[in-house]
Amino acid sequence: MSPTTHGDPSVPAAKVIHDDELRYGFRSSVRSFANRVRTGDVGSLPVVAGLILIWTIFQILNPNFLSSRNLVNLTLQSAAVGTIAIGIVLVLLIGEIDLSVGSVSGLSAAILAVLFVQTGWPIALVLVVALVTGAMVGLVYGLLYTRFGVPSFVITLAGLLGFLGLQLFVLGRLGSINIPDNTWIVEFLTQTFLSPAVSYVVIAIVVVVYAWQLLAQARRRTDAGLAAMSRNVIAMRVGGVAVVLGAAAFYLNLSRGVSMSFLIFLILVTIMHFVLTRTRWGRAVYAVGGSVEAARRAGIRVNRIYISVFVLCSTFAAMGGILAAARLQAANQSSGGGDVNLNAIAAAVIGGTSLFGGRGSAFSALLGVLVVMSISNGLAILNLEAYVRYMITGAVLILAVILDSLSRRSRAAAGRA
Amino acid sequence: MTLTAGRAERTHAPEHILSLRGIGKRFGAVRALTNVDLDVYAGEVVAIVGDNGAGKSTLVKILAGVHPHDAGTVLFYGEEQHLANPTDSRDLGIATVFQDLALSDSLDVVSNLWLGRELTRGGVLDEVEMEQRSWSLLRELSARVPSVRTPVASLSGGQRQTVAIARSLIGEPSVVILDEPTAALGIAQTAEVLNLIERLRERGLGVILISHNLADVLAVADRIVVLRLGRNNGDFRVADVTSEQIIAAITGATDHGLAKRAAEKSATQPGAETDS
């Protein structure tokens, strides 16, 4: 919610401090938000509305849907696909696509199971091998894309088949390997939940860091004579974050609580959000997605951005594969198959990352995966057949894409591309 | 972003920034440029005019490092330079604003200005510093941009041109090349851009202006270099030339042969050749 108030520092510094117009107060924040929505810059508004709608419908159909127990399940189901979706957000931001994330996640699950269970390697080494394999896959994609200019759609479609084959080869004749549930990886990733006290401490730290950041930023901007957020708005934002996180933790704590895998997913989302919005690399990613030619002329090494994004995407896919294998306590021929691929892509798009590149945020992986997994979870507890689930998820995806196109068009009409 | 540096130097003879001698460029069988000379001094606006296919764009691209030249020498502050790629050219201090501007529509003004050379503070983007410097740069240029945090897509043509020109100044260049900056602009916006060009001159920059519009050229340039069929066809001081004379040179009605041009040059710019 970055307000677009005038912040001309030509106004004397002494005046800035007393002039409320120049600090973005509550009213100007609301006004600029409403203005952006009207011109098609809808952000995460539709996905939040959609999530509320979906939750309401399922709650009416089945009163157990919003129970603490089921929501804990939802977070457990979301962690793996959500982690993969972070990678998809990245490739979508540069205007490309990776259709092979499912296969790559299956491959890393297979590597994990074979090396850890069959070969008995130490877990740390196994994790490194699985993640590096993912990174190598992305490196190959990136090199193919930048060297030969093959569309990423085709490269990754080939990768989808190729790495599925490799996954089957790694698994060998057996085809399915169970990971014993007394091992560290399974216990840590799926049976570890934060105790209520710890979860509140974590939230308190997050809120304090967030508040400190906003305050420090506002102070620096005021000192520099730029428009800064007013204390009220900061208080409201910090309060909002505290209430949302606190309420979510409180509700989840009524049953098992916040799982380690979901916490890892949240940490990854936050880190990627920071990297995308606050580093030169992140700025370059948005620039490449917005206009490659402009980015190239600005001196950005475009090929490096492409390669690094493909590498990150496949690495996130491998990470998702590890989380999924730990949750299933097994790797088999269908790991990463079925709807994993499309769920991850759907999550990124539904979460509000544009298919046209240059628009989106790491948080769309979080919001999107909650929507996708809520649908899948809700339909499952209604005992609906798989075919209904597929059709509904497909319909929601189409809706999200239409919304993306429409908002793009109305941004263009309002001159905000 | 110092306004004063250029002025101090201009109190004595203007500095000879850029000097091209005998530049040639072939594209296969086509000779795009033959034996072209060009000089740019600090605090001077040099307009390059010519009909379509005269070689204006090729000359710009050579200076911008997009195409390497195959004959002749490029002297920058008296030293021979090789402009093998756009980065070479930019690092040297030659900034080019292409006709299509190459702005990233979805990014805001600050991001566009600093794209590719963002300021950081402890590894993290220093938005405050960038925003502050953007404001002061735009103010020095007396540019009218509603807010530096609006996406570039929502700006008018003249404002986009302003942002593109301001961006070229971020690297503190010595020469700015503007390729058709007033094409597709309205009257008011054109005037705004011409004012901007004058302000670049006041900063002591050498400005190379490529334009089709003779009215604009005569309004703002100090010197006009005419290209015709890839060769020099005249080098005029704006003060002592009429648009008829320039049009004659562009269309080839008058032929400024080598001898005539050399005579004219030694008359108008004493000491032009001494730096090399």
The full set of domain ranges for chain B reads 4-268
Say how far apart CA A178 and CA A102 lie, in whole Å. 19
Q: Report whether pLDDT(B4) > 70.
A: no
| Alpha-carbon distance values, B253 to A159, B32, B235, B256 (Å) | 64, 21, 15, 10
- Model confidence at A400, in pLDDT bands (50, 70, 90)? confident
What's the pLDDT score for residue A417?
A: 54
Query: What's the pLDDT at A22?
Result: 46
Q: Summarize the confidence of residues A46-68 as an average pLDDT.
A: 92
Alpha-carbon B58 to chain mean position: 14
For B4-268, CATH number out of 3.40.50.970, 3.40.50.300, 3.90.550.10, 2.40.40.20 equals 3.40.50.300
User: Quick one: pLDDT at residue A42?
Assistant: 67
Please name the amino acid found at residue A215: L
Q: Which CATH topology does A45-192+259-402 take?
A: ABC transporter involved in vitamin B12 uptake, BtuC (1.10.3470)
Residues in chain B with CB shorter than 8 Å from the CB of A411 are 153
User: Distance between CA atoms of A375 and B117, rounded to whole angstroms?
Assistant: 44
**Mean local confidence (pLDDT), A83-99:** 96
Does B85 touch chain A if contact means CB atoms closer than 8 Å? no
Report pLDDT digits (tens) over A279-307.
999 999 999 999 998 898 888 899 999 99
DSSP state of B203: T
From the CB of residue A39, how many other CB atoms can be counted at a distance below 10 Å? Answer: 17
Instruction: Report residue A112: phi and psi, to 5°.
Output: -55, -50
Residues of B in contact with A216 (CB under 8 A): none
Q: What is the pLDDT of residue A114?
A: 93
Question: What is the spatial distance between Cα B85 and Cα B87, in angstroms, rounded to a whole number?
Answer: 5
Q: What is the pLDDT of residue B154?
A: 84
pLDDT at A40: 65
Sequence-separated (6 or more) residues with CB below 8 Å from residue A192: A259, A260
Cβ pair A103, A159 in contact under 8 A: yes
Determine whether the interchain pair B153/A416 forms a contact, defined as Cβ–Cβ distance below 8 Å.
yes
Separation in Å, CA of B89 to nearest CA in chain A? 11
Q: Which residues of A touch B123 (CB under 8 A)?
A: 279
Q: Do B104 and A217 touch (CB under 8 A)?
A: no
Residue B13 has pLDDT above 80, yes or no: no
Length of chain B: 276
Cα torsion B81, B84, B90, B95 to 10°: value is 90
Q: What value does the mean pLDDT of chain B take? A: 83
Q: Confidence band (pLDDT; 50, 70, 90) for A16?
A: very low
DSSP state of B52: T
Question: How far does A133 lie from chain B, in Å, by closest CA?
Answer: 28
CB atoms within 10 A of CB B105: 20
Distance CA A151, CA A170 (A): 28
> What is the pLDDT confidence band of residue A162, given thresholds at 50, 70 and 90?
very high
B36 strand-pairing partners = B23
pLDDT over 90 percentage in chain A: 61
- d(Cα B185, Cα B60) in Å, to the nearest integer? 21
CA of A7: which chain B residue's CA is closest?
A: B147
- Tokens representing A262? 């979901």
Identify the band that residue A12 occupies on the pLDDT scale cut at 50, 70 and 90: very low
Q: Which residues contact A125 (CB under 8 A, 6 or more apart)?
A: A115
Instruction: Say whether pLDDT at A208 is over 90.
Output: yes
What pLDDT is recorded for position B264?
A: 54
CA atoms within a 13 Å half-sphere pointing along the CA-CB vector of B269: 21
Q: Do B102 and A287 touch (CB under 8 A)?
A: no
Of A6, A226, A299, the CB nearest to B131: A226
- Which of A1, A4, A222 has the highest number of chain B CBs within 10 A, making it the mutation to test binding with B? A4
pLDDT at B260: 53
Nearest to A278 among B105, B124, B139 (CB): B124
What ipTM describes this predicted complex? 0.81
State the Cα–Cα distance between residues A163 and A100, nearest whole angstrom.
8
The Cα A350–Cα A36 span in angstroms is: 19
- The predicted pLDDT at position A18 comes to 31
